[in-house]
Chains A and B, each alone.
Chain A
């Protein structure tokens, strides 16, 4: 369907933004991020999207990561933390996001 393709286009850029917004608040591990995103069907994404995305953000220096043991007897989890560079990136994204919303609202209200 056409709407699905449009949604996936919107999602591509937005996911990165949302993940950074989340990690900016506190460290998260991948599975946790996916669960949280699942709360909103429009943002819901699978492993094959989230993990490669996190990896890229890591490579670009926006995130840092560390493995931490769990207390529940599960294997260690890889926690992601935002870096200074990541914070700057997020700041710029927030700015652009605001611009975008203003523009859409402006056109809509014409």
Chain B
């Protein structure tokens, strides 16, 4: 067998390393057999590789299908999921948690900032003497001594920006999840 095909099979095997060795060997043997049939029908190595797709995607197809339709928890399925994510990339492992944290935090604080600044402004203008007001500080670009009114204006602007960023992160998260799951369901 030609070197490109051999190295292709090695890559697939590497991506499937979490599948039990005997099963993995069987999968590889079947793909190898398929390659020989294709060669026998006059296909070149390049055509064969093009037909099979990237080693990553082929491995992903196996892992995706092995997840099956059940929902119960077992070690095997857990390991398959691990393997799936190791291919689906760290993208999923990083992007989803990051966005899931950023979105709500930004939205909540975007709304909270102007409210707090408003309370402080009201306190200082009306001299209400609300306790703990000294803990609300508006620091803009290193300037700490902004008047409560200016502070309020700034915090409204910052609040709107934070809120928009939070909503953006949320929409991105939704889009990302939809995209990833649609890839999983696509048939070639």
Contacts and interface: CB of A to CB of B under 8 A. Distances in A.
A97 interface: no
Contact of A46 (B30, B33, B53): B53
B34 interface: yes
B52 A47 contact: yes
Interface string A74-90: 11111000000000000
Contacts of B185: 12
Interface size class of A (residues with CB under 8 A): 20 to 34
Interface in B1-39: 26-27, 29-34, 36-38
B30 A51 contact: yes
A15 B185 CA distance: 14
Contacts of B98: none
A18 interface: no
Given A47-B51, A74-B36, A55 B188 contact: no
A99 interface: no
A59 B33 contact: no
A75 B188 CA distance: 26
A49 interface: yes
Nearest to B68: A56
Given A8-B186, A56-B65, A74-B40, A48 B33 contact: no
Interface in B46-97: 51-53, 57-58, 61-62, 64-66, 68
B128 interface: no
B105 to A, nearest CB: 36
Contact of B66 (A59, A72, A77): A59
A31 B34 contact: yes
A72 B30 CA distance: 17
5 contacts: A46-B53, A56-B65, A67-B29, A74-B36, A78-B26
The 8 A-B residue pairs with the shortest CB-CB distance in the complex, in nearest-first order: A52-B65, A48-B61, A31-B37, A8-B187, A52-B61, A56-B65, A52-B62, A75-B33
